[in-house]
Amino acid sequence: MTKYVIHGGRPLFGEIDISGAKNAAVAIIPAALLVDGVCRIENIPQISDVTLILNILQDLGADVRTVNRTTVDIDCSHIRNARVPEELARKIRASYYLIGALLGRFGSAEVPPPGGCDFGGRPIDQHIKGFVAMGADVDVQGGYIHARARAGRMQGTQVYLDIVSVGATMNIMLSAVLAQGMTVIENAAKEPHVVDLANFLNSMGADIMGAGTDVIKIRGVARLSGGSYSIIPDQIEAGTYMAAVAAAGGEVLVKNVIPKHLECITAKLLEMGVAVEERDDAVLVCRTGNLTRTNVKTLPYPGFPTDMQPQIAAILCLAEGTSVLTEGVWDNRYRYVDEFRRMGAQIQVDGKIAVIEGVEKLTGARIRACDLRAGAAMVIAGLAAQGTTEISNIYHIERGYEDIVRKLSGVGADIRVVVTPDAGKQAQVG
Protein backbone atom coordinates (compact mmCIF):
# COMPACT_ATOMS: atom_id res chain seq x y z
CA MET A 1 0.00 0.00 0.00
CA THR A 2 1.21 3.49 -0.79
CA LYS A 3 0.11 6.41 1.32
CA TYR A 4 0.96 10.00 2.07
CA VAL A 5 2.09 10.83 5.59
CA ILE A 6 1.79 14.50 6.50
CA HIS A 7 2.98 16.22 9.66
CA GLY A 8 0.76 19.26 9.61
CA GLY A 9 0.82 22.72 11.12
CA ARG A 10 3.71 24.19 9.09
CA PRO A 11 3.12 27.31 7.02
CA LEU A 12 4.23 27.17 3.37
CA PHE A 13 6.82 29.52 1.86
CA GLY A 14 8.40 29.65 -1.61
CA GLU A 15 7.35 29.00 -5.20
CA ILE A 16 5.35 26.28 -6.96
CA ASP A 17 5.33 25.70 -10.73
CA ILE A 18 2.03 24.63 -12.22
CA SER A 19 1.90 21.84 -14.83
CA GLY A 20 -0.20 21.61 -17.98
CA ALA A 21 -3.96 21.23 -17.58
CA LYS A 22 -5.19 17.65 -17.12
CA ASN A 23 -8.64 18.25 -18.56
CA ALA A 24 -7.18 19.94 -21.64
CA ALA A 25 -4.50 17.25 -22.15
CA VAL A 26 -6.96 14.35 -21.97
CA ALA A 27 -8.98 15.90 -24.82
CA ILE A 28 -6.11 17.26 -26.93
CA ILE A 29 -4.28 13.92 -27.00
CA PRO A 30 -7.29 12.08 -28.52
CA ALA A 31 -7.74 15.05 -30.88
CA ALA A 32 -4.43 13.99 -32.47
CA LEU A 33 -6.47 11.20 -34.09
CA LEU A 34 -7.96 13.83 -36.39
CA VAL A 35 -4.60 15.10 -37.61
CA ASP A 36 -2.88 13.84 -40.74
CA GLY A 37 0.79 14.11 -39.72
CA VAL A 38 2.81 14.55 -36.56
CA CYS A 39 1.46 16.71 -33.72
CA ARG A 40 3.93 17.90 -31.16
CA ILE A 41 2.12 18.51 -27.86
CA GLU A 42 4.01 20.46 -25.20
CA ASN A 43 3.37 21.16 -21.51
CA ILE A 44 1.78 17.75 -20.97
CA PRO A 45 1.35 16.97 -17.26
CA GLN A 46 3.00 13.77 -16.01
CA ILE A 47 -0.03 12.16 -14.41
CA SER A 48 -1.54 8.71 -14.69
CA ASP A 49 -4.65 9.85 -16.63
CA VAL A 50 -2.36 11.17 -19.38
CA THR A 51 -0.32 7.95 -19.44
CA LEU A 52 -3.56 6.00 -19.84
CA ILE A 53 -4.87 8.06 -22.73
CA LEU A 54 -1.48 7.86 -24.50
CA ASN A 55 -1.51 4.08 -23.98
CA ILE A 56 -4.95 3.88 -25.56
CA LEU A 57 -3.75 5.79 -28.64
CA GLN A 58 -0.72 3.49 -28.90
CA ASP A 59 -2.98 0.47 -28.61
CA LEU A 60 -5.00 1.84 -31.53
CA GLY A 61 -1.77 2.03 -33.56
CA ALA A 62 -0.53 5.58 -33.01
CA ASP A 63 3.16 6.32 -33.07
CA VAL A 64 3.85 8.12 -29.75
CA ARG A 65 7.36 9.42 -29.17
CA THR A 66 8.51 11.13 -25.97
CA VAL A 67 10.56 14.22 -26.84
CA ASN A 68 11.19 15.32 -23.27
CA ARG A 69 9.48 15.21 -19.85
CA THR A 70 6.54 17.36 -20.97
CA THR A 71 6.51 16.96 -24.76
CA VAL A 72 5.32 14.13 -27.00
CA ASP A 73 5.09 13.69 -30.76
CA ILE A 74 1.98 11.79 -31.83
CA ASP A 75 1.39 10.47 -35.32
CA CYS A 76 -1.98 8.82 -35.91
CA SER A 77 -1.75 8.77 -39.72
CA HIS A 78 -1.44 4.99 -39.90
CA ILE A 79 -4.26 4.03 -37.53
CA ARG A 80 -6.95 1.89 -39.16
CA ASN A 81 -8.59 0.60 -35.98
CA ALA A 82 -11.62 2.34 -34.40
CA ARG A 83 -12.16 -0.09 -31.49
CA VAL A 84 -10.79 1.07 -28.13
CA PRO A 85 -9.47 -1.55 -25.63
CA GLU A 86 -11.84 -2.09 -22.73
CA GLU A 87 -9.43 -2.45 -19.76
CA LEU A 88 -7.76 0.90 -20.44
CA ALA A 89 -10.83 2.92 -21.42
CA ARG A 90 -12.85 1.95 -18.35
CA LYS A 91 -10.22 3.43 -16.04
CA ILE A 92 -10.66 6.98 -17.29
CA ARG A 93 -13.52 9.40 -17.83
CA ALA A 94 -11.91 11.12 -20.79
CA SER A 95 -12.02 7.96 -22.90
CA TYR A 96 -15.38 9.33 -24.08
CA TYR A 97 -13.42 11.82 -26.24
CA LEU A 98 -12.37 8.85 -28.37
CA ILE A 99 -15.96 8.52 -29.57
CA GLY A 100 -15.98 12.04 -31.05
CA ALA A 101 -12.42 11.82 -32.37
CA LEU A 102 -12.88 8.38 -34.00
CA LEU A 103 -16.26 9.39 -35.45
CA GLY A 104 -14.62 12.47 -36.92
CA ARG A 105 -11.70 10.50 -38.34
CA PHE A 106 -13.33 7.24 -39.51
CA GLY A 107 -17.09 7.86 -39.32
CA SER A 108 -17.27 5.03 -36.78
CA ALA A 109 -16.20 4.28 -33.21
CA GLU A 110 -16.42 1.43 -30.73
CA VAL A 111 -15.63 2.65 -27.23
CA PRO A 112 -16.45 1.16 -23.80
CA PRO A 113 -18.48 3.37 -21.42
CA PRO A 114 -16.08 5.71 -19.57
CA GLY A 115 -14.81 5.38 -15.98
CA GLY A 116 -13.65 8.24 -13.72
CA CYS A 117 -14.51 9.63 -10.28
CA ASP A 118 -17.81 8.54 -8.74
CA PHE A 119 -20.11 11.54 -8.17
CA GLY A 120 -23.41 9.66 -8.59
CA GLY A 121 -24.79 9.37 -12.14
CA ARG A 122 -22.49 10.60 -14.93
CA PRO A 123 -24.63 10.29 -18.08
CA ILE A 124 -23.34 11.04 -21.58
CA ASP A 125 -26.77 11.53 -23.17
CA GLN A 126 -25.86 15.04 -24.37
CA HIS A 127 -22.79 13.71 -26.21
CA ILE A 128 -24.98 11.11 -27.90
CA LYS A 129 -27.69 13.64 -28.68
CA GLY A 130 -25.08 15.64 -30.58
CA PHE A 131 -23.70 12.65 -32.51
CA VAL A 132 -27.21 11.52 -33.48
CA ALA A 133 -28.15 15.04 -34.64
CA MET A 134 -25.03 14.95 -36.82
CA GLY A 135 -26.16 11.80 -38.59
CA ALA A 136 -24.71 8.98 -36.45
CA ASP A 137 -26.44 5.84 -35.21
CA VAL A 138 -25.40 5.16 -31.63
CA ASP A 139 -26.22 2.05 -29.60
CA VAL A 140 -24.71 -0.11 -26.87
CA GLN A 141 -23.89 -3.77 -27.57
CA GLY A 142 -21.73 -6.19 -25.63
CA GLY A 143 -20.52 -3.50 -23.22
CA TYR A 144 -19.40 -1.17 -26.02
CA ILE A 145 -20.84 2.08 -27.38
CA HIS A 146 -21.07 1.64 -31.17
CA ALA A 147 -21.35 4.86 -33.18
CA ARG A 148 -21.49 5.04 -36.97
CA ALA A 149 -22.06 8.00 -39.29
CA ARG A 150 -24.82 6.91 -41.68
CA ALA A 151 -23.35 8.92 -44.58
CA GLY A 152 -19.83 7.72 -43.79
CA ARG A 153 -18.92 11.21 -42.58
CA MET A 154 -20.47 13.38 -39.82
CA GLN A 155 -22.87 16.07 -41.04
CA GLY A 156 -22.80 19.60 -39.64
CA THR A 157 -26.00 20.74 -37.90
CA GLN A 158 -27.29 22.76 -34.95
CA VAL A 159 -26.99 21.09 -31.51
CA TYR A 160 -28.58 22.63 -28.44
CA LEU A 161 -27.22 21.18 -25.17
CA ASP A 162 -29.92 20.76 -22.50
CA ILE A 163 -27.22 20.99 -19.82
CA VAL A 164 -23.95 22.90 -19.94
CA SER A 165 -21.54 19.98 -20.35
CA VAL A 166 -17.78 20.28 -20.77
CA GLY A 167 -17.48 16.75 -22.11
CA ALA A 168 -20.37 17.02 -24.58
CA THR A 169 -19.14 20.40 -25.88
CA MET A 170 -15.63 19.08 -26.53
CA ASN A 171 -16.76 15.72 -27.88
CA ILE A 172 -19.16 17.28 -30.38
CA MET A 173 -16.40 19.69 -31.39
CA LEU A 174 -14.08 16.73 -32.05
CA SER A 175 -16.67 14.98 -34.19
CA ALA A 176 -17.41 18.20 -36.13
CA VAL A 177 -14.01 19.49 -37.27
CA LEU A 178 -13.86 17.12 -40.28
CA ALA A 179 -17.66 16.99 -40.81
CA GLN A 180 -19.52 18.01 -43.93
CA GLY A 181 -20.75 21.61 -43.40
CA MET A 182 -21.21 23.78 -40.32
CA THR A 183 -21.96 22.57 -36.78
CA VAL A 184 -23.33 25.04 -34.23
CA ILE A 185 -23.21 24.09 -30.53
CA GLU A 186 -25.60 26.18 -28.46
CA ASN A 187 -25.47 26.40 -24.65
CA ALA A 188 -21.84 25.28 -24.91
CA ALA A 189 -19.46 25.05 -21.93
CA LYS A 190 -16.96 27.93 -21.62
CA GLU A 191 -14.20 26.34 -19.50
CA PRO A 192 -10.56 27.25 -20.34
CA HIS A 193 -9.96 23.69 -21.59
CA VAL A 194 -12.81 24.04 -24.11
CA VAL A 195 -10.98 27.06 -25.53
CA ASP A 196 -7.67 25.21 -25.41
CA LEU A 197 -9.02 22.29 -27.44
CA ALA A 198 -10.42 24.73 -30.02
CA ASN A 199 -7.07 26.55 -30.19
CA PHE A 200 -5.23 23.25 -30.66
CA LEU A 201 -7.57 22.16 -33.46
CA ASN A 202 -7.44 25.59 -35.15
CA SER A 203 -3.65 25.53 -35.01
CA MET A 204 -3.80 22.24 -36.99
CA GLY A 205 -6.13 23.76 -39.62
CA ALA A 206 -9.66 23.50 -38.15
CA ASP A 207 -12.18 26.34 -38.46
CA ILE A 208 -13.76 26.85 -35.02
CA MET A 209 -15.23 30.17 -33.86
CA GLY A 210 -16.75 31.23 -30.55
CA ALA A 211 -15.01 28.84 -28.13
CA GLY A 212 -15.24 30.49 -24.70
CA THR A 213 -18.77 31.77 -25.45
CA ASP A 214 -21.97 29.75 -25.28
CA VAL A 215 -22.27 29.42 -29.07
CA ILE A 216 -19.48 27.58 -30.89
CA LYS A 217 -19.46 27.35 -34.69
CA ILE A 218 -17.37 24.69 -36.38
CA ARG A 219 -17.02 24.75 -40.16
CA GLY A 220 -15.91 21.31 -41.31
CA VAL A 221 -12.60 21.17 -43.20
CA ALA A 222 -11.24 18.37 -45.41
CA ARG A 223 -8.03 17.77 -43.48
CA LEU A 224 -5.99 18.78 -40.43
CA SER A 225 -2.23 18.76 -40.75
CA GLY A 226 0.53 18.42 -38.15
CA GLY A 227 2.04 21.17 -36.04
CA SER A 228 3.02 21.92 -32.47
CA TYR A 229 0.93 23.18 -29.57
CA SER A 230 1.49 23.94 -25.89
CA ILE A 231 -1.26 23.07 -23.38
CA ILE A 232 -2.50 25.77 -20.96
CA PRO A 233 -1.58 25.66 -17.26
CA ASP A 234 -3.91 23.72 -14.98
CA GLN A 235 -6.48 26.02 -13.36
CA ILE A 236 -7.45 23.42 -10.75
CA GLU A 237 -3.91 22.41 -9.82
CA ALA A 238 -3.12 26.11 -9.28
CA GLY A 239 -6.33 26.59 -7.26
CA THR A 240 -5.44 23.57 -5.13
CA TYR A 241 -2.05 25.05 -4.14
CA MET A 242 -3.67 28.43 -3.51
CA ALA A 243 -6.09 26.65 -1.18
CA ALA A 244 -3.18 24.83 0.51
CA VAL A 245 -1.54 28.17 1.37
CA ALA A 246 -4.88 29.54 2.60
CA ALA A 247 -5.32 26.55 4.90
CA ALA A 248 -1.75 26.11 6.17
CA GLY A 249 -0.74 29.80 6.15
CA GLY A 250 2.43 31.30 4.68
CA GLU A 251 3.28 32.99 1.40
CA VAL A 252 3.72 31.18 -1.93
CA LEU A 253 4.17 32.37 -5.50
CA VAL A 254 2.10 30.05 -7.70
CA LYS A 255 3.87 30.28 -11.07
CA ASN A 256 3.09 29.49 -14.72
CA VAL A 257 -0.65 30.24 -14.44
CA ILE A 258 -3.18 32.32 -16.36
CA PRO A 259 -4.48 34.59 -13.55
CA LYS A 260 -7.71 35.27 -15.48
CA HIS A 261 -8.62 31.56 -15.18
CA LEU A 262 -8.16 31.79 -11.41
CA GLU A 263 -10.36 34.84 -10.79
CA CYS A 264 -13.32 32.73 -9.62
CA ILE A 265 -11.07 31.11 -6.99
CA THR A 266 -9.20 34.29 -6.10
CA ALA A 267 -12.50 36.11 -5.41
CA LYS A 268 -13.50 33.56 -2.76
CA LEU A 269 -10.07 33.49 -1.11
CA LEU A 270 -10.14 37.30 -0.85
CA GLU A 271 -13.56 37.11 0.84
CA MET A 272 -12.03 34.69 3.36
CA GLY A 273 -9.21 37.08 4.27
CA VAL A 274 -6.46 35.58 2.12
CA ALA A 275 -4.29 38.05 0.19
CA VAL A 276 -3.93 37.22 -3.51
CA GLU A 277 -1.84 39.42 -5.79
CA GLU A 278 -1.98 38.84 -9.54
CA ARG A 279 1.23 39.01 -11.58
CA ASP A 280 1.60 38.46 -15.35
CA ASP A 281 1.79 34.68 -15.20
CA ALA A 282 1.74 34.03 -11.46
CA VAL A 283 -0.30 34.72 -8.33
CA LEU A 284 1.18 35.48 -4.92
CA VAL A 285 -0.93 33.97 -2.15
CA CYS A 286 -0.43 35.01 1.46
CA ARG A 287 -2.35 34.14 4.61
CA THR A 288 -1.30 35.34 8.03
CA GLY A 289 -4.50 36.18 9.93
CA ASN A 290 -7.69 34.26 10.67
CA LEU A 291 -9.95 32.91 7.94
CA THR A 292 -13.44 34.36 7.58
CA ARG A 293 -16.53 32.35 6.64
CA THR A 294 -18.14 32.65 3.23
CA ASN A 295 -20.69 30.92 0.99
CA VAL A 296 -19.67 29.13 -2.20
CA LYS A 297 -21.78 27.71 -5.01
CA THR A 298 -20.15 25.70 -7.77
CA LEU A 299 -21.22 26.49 -11.33
CA PRO A 300 -19.94 26.06 -14.89
CA TYR A 301 -17.13 28.49 -15.84
CA PRO A 302 -16.76 31.38 -15.11
CA GLY A 303 -18.49 30.30 -11.89
CA PHE A 304 -16.62 28.69 -9.02
CA PRO A 305 -15.36 25.29 -10.30
CA THR A 306 -16.85 22.09 -8.92
CA ASP A 307 -13.34 20.63 -9.15
CA MET A 308 -12.31 23.07 -6.38
CA GLN A 309 -15.29 22.29 -4.13
CA PRO A 310 -13.61 19.79 -1.75
CA GLN A 311 -10.48 21.98 -1.52
CA ILE A 312 -12.47 25.10 -0.57
CA ALA A 313 -14.39 22.96 1.95
CA ALA A 314 -11.08 22.10 3.62
CA ILE A 315 -10.40 25.82 4.18
CA LEU A 316 -13.95 26.60 5.29
CA CYS A 317 -13.58 23.95 8.01
CA LEU A 318 -11.08 26.34 9.63
CA ALA A 319 -12.87 29.64 8.94
CA GLU A 320 -14.59 31.55 11.75
CA GLY A 321 -18.38 31.16 11.55
CA THR A 322 -20.79 29.10 9.46
CA SER A 323 -20.32 28.68 5.71
CA VAL A 324 -22.76 27.24 3.19
CA LEU A 325 -21.39 25.26 0.26
CA THR A 326 -23.73 24.40 -2.62
CA GLU A 327 -22.74 21.88 -5.30
CA GLY A 328 -24.29 23.10 -8.51
CA VAL A 329 -22.86 20.57 -10.97
CA TRP A 330 -22.74 17.00 -9.58
CA ASP A 331 -25.38 15.05 -7.61
CA ASN A 332 -23.05 13.48 -5.09
CA ARG A 333 -19.73 15.19 -4.50
CA TYR A 334 -19.63 15.10 -0.69
CA ARG A 335 -18.41 11.56 -0.16
CA TYR A 336 -15.25 12.93 1.47
CA VAL A 337 -17.10 14.57 4.37
CA ASP A 338 -16.87 11.53 6.65
CA GLU A 339 -13.09 11.61 6.30
CA PHE A 340 -12.98 15.31 7.23
CA ARG A 341 -15.14 14.55 10.28
CA ARG A 342 -12.44 12.14 11.47
CA MET A 343 -10.16 15.17 11.62
CA GLY A 344 -12.64 17.13 13.75
CA ALA A 345 -14.48 19.03 11.00
CA GLN A 346 -18.10 19.95 11.62
CA ILE A 347 -20.07 19.51 8.41
CA GLN A 348 -23.72 18.71 7.81
CA VAL A 349 -24.78 17.63 4.33
CA ASP A 350 -28.28 17.76 2.94
CA GLY A 351 -28.39 16.81 -0.73
CA LYS A 352 -26.31 19.32 -2.65
CA ILE A 353 -25.79 21.64 0.35
CA ALA A 354 -23.10 21.36 3.00
CA VAL A 355 -23.18 23.56 6.09
CA ILE A 356 -19.72 23.94 7.57
CA GLU A 357 -19.21 25.17 11.11
CA GLY A 358 -15.64 26.45 11.35
CA VAL A 359 -13.50 24.83 14.07
CA GLU A 360 -10.34 26.19 15.69
CA LYS A 361 -8.21 23.28 14.59
CA LEU A 362 -8.26 20.03 12.68
CA THR A 363 -6.31 17.10 14.03
CA GLY A 364 -4.38 14.48 12.06
CA ALA A 365 -6.10 11.16 11.35
CA ARG A 366 -5.95 8.10 9.08
CA ILE A 367 -8.14 8.89 6.10
CA ARG A 368 -8.84 7.53 2.63
CA ALA A 369 -8.92 9.48 -0.64
CA CYS A 370 -12.25 8.70 -2.31
CA ASP A 371 -11.65 10.55 -5.58
CA LEU A 372 -9.14 12.90 -7.20
CA ARG A 373 -10.15 16.33 -5.86
CA ALA A 374 -11.38 14.96 -2.53
CA GLY A 375 -7.92 13.40 -2.16
CA ALA A 376 -6.26 16.74 -2.87
CA ALA A 377 -8.55 18.36 -0.28
CA MET A 378 -7.44 15.76 2.27
CA VAL A 379 -3.82 16.73 1.62
CA ILE A 380 -4.79 20.37 2.26
CA ALA A 381 -6.59 19.43 5.49
CA GLY A 382 -3.55 17.38 6.54
CA LEU A 383 -1.17 20.31 5.93
CA ALA A 384 -3.31 22.55 8.15
CA ALA A 385 -4.03 19.96 10.85
CA GLN A 386 -2.17 19.44 14.09
CA GLY A 387 -0.42 16.09 14.24
CA THR A 388 -0.01 13.35 11.65
CA THR A 389 -2.40 12.58 8.80
CA GLU A 390 -2.10 9.39 6.75
CA ILE A 391 -3.92 9.33 3.43
CA SER A 392 -4.45 6.03 1.64
CA ASN A 393 -5.79 5.35 -1.89
CA ILE A 394 -3.49 8.04 -3.23
CA TYR A 395 -3.70 6.65 -6.76
CA HIS A 396 -6.77 8.86 -7.06
CA ILE A 397 -4.60 11.94 -6.40
CA GLU A 398 -1.86 10.83 -8.80
CA ARG A 399 -4.39 10.64 -11.63
CA GLY A 400 -4.40 14.44 -11.72
CA TYR A 401 -1.52 16.00 -9.75
CA GLU A 402 2.03 15.84 -11.08
CA ASP A 403 4.64 15.51 -8.34
CA ILE A 404 2.39 16.80 -5.57
CA VAL A 405 4.73 15.56 -2.85
CA ARG A 406 7.80 17.21 -4.40
CA LYS A 407 5.95 20.47 -5.08
CA LEU A 408 4.63 20.72 -1.51
CA SER A 409 7.94 19.64 0.06
CA GLY A 410 9.58 22.42 -1.96
CA VAL A 411 7.56 25.02 -0.05
CA GLY A 412 8.28 23.51 3.35
CA ALA A 413 5.50 20.96 3.83
CA ASP A 414 6.35 17.81 5.74
CA ILE A 415 4.78 15.24 3.41
CA ARG A 416 6.23 11.88 2.42
CA VAL A 417 5.22 8.89 0.36
CA VAL A 418 5.29 5.74 2.45
CA VAL A 419 5.17 2.37 0.72
CA THR A 420 4.30 -0.74 2.68
CA PRO A 421 4.75 -3.63 0.21
CA ASP A 422 2.74 -6.07 2.32
CA ALA A 423 1.99 -6.83 5.95
CA GLY A 424 5.04 -7.98 7.88
CA LYS A 425 7.65 -6.20 5.74
CA GLN A 426 9.14 -2.96 6.90
CA ALA A 427 7.82 0.29 5.43
CA GLN A 428 9.95 2.11 2.84
CA VAL A 429 9.96 5.85 2.98
CA GLY A 430 10.46 7.87 -0.21
Q: Contact between 394 and ligand EPU (CB under 6 A)?
A: no
Angle at which helix 235-248 crosses helix 263-271, to 10 degrees, equals 10
Is the Cβ–Cβ distance between 382 and 411 less than 8 Å?
no
Within 317-398, residue ranges assigned H as helices are 337-342, 372-384, 395-398
Residue 304 per-residue DSSP state: B
Q: Contact between 175 and ligand EPU (CB under 6 A)?
A: no
DSSP per-residue letters across 25-72: HHHHHHHGGGEEEEEEEES----HHHHHHHHHHHHHT-EEEEEETTEE
Among 43, 126, 180, 323, binds ligand EPU (CB under 6 A): 126
Q: Contact between 329 and ligand EPU (CB under 6 A)?
A: yes
Which residue's CB comes closest to ligand EPU?
Answer: 167
Among 26, 216, 244, 384, binds ligand EPU (CB under 6 A): 26
Among 117, 211, 343, 413, binds ligand EPU (CB under 6 A): 117
Among 163, 353, 419, 427, binds ligand EPU (CB under 6 A): 163
Residue 345 phi, psi dihedral angles, 5° rounding: -70, 150
Among 372, 374, 384, 405, binds ligand EPU (CB under 6 A): 372
Of residues 117, 264, 317, 370, which has the active-site annotation?
A: 117
Query: Please, what is the minimum distance in Å from the beta carbon of residue 298 to ligand EPU?
Result: 9
Residue 340 per-residue DSSP state: H
Q: How far apart are CA 328 and CA 340, in angstroms?
A: 21
117 catalytic? Reply is yes
DSSP per-residue letters across 92-158: -GGGGHHHHHHHHHHSEEEEPPP----SS----HHHHHHHHHTTEEEEEETTEEEEEETTSS-B--E
Query: Please, what is the minimum distance in Å from the beta carbon of residue 116 to ligand EPU?
Result: 7
Q: How far apart are CA 73 and CA 260, in angstroms?
A: 29
Which of these segments, 6-14, 147-155, 163-171, 239-247, binds ligand EPU (CB under 6 A)? 163-171
Query: Please, what is the minimum distance in Å from the beta carbon of residue 400 to ligand EPU?
Result: 6
Nearer to ligand EPU among residue 107 and residue 305 (C-beta)? 305
Instruction: State the residues that interact with ligand EPU by CB under 6 A.
Output: 23, 26, 93-94, 117, 122-127, 163, 165-168, 189, 306-307, 329-330, 372-373, 400
Catalytic residue numbers read 117
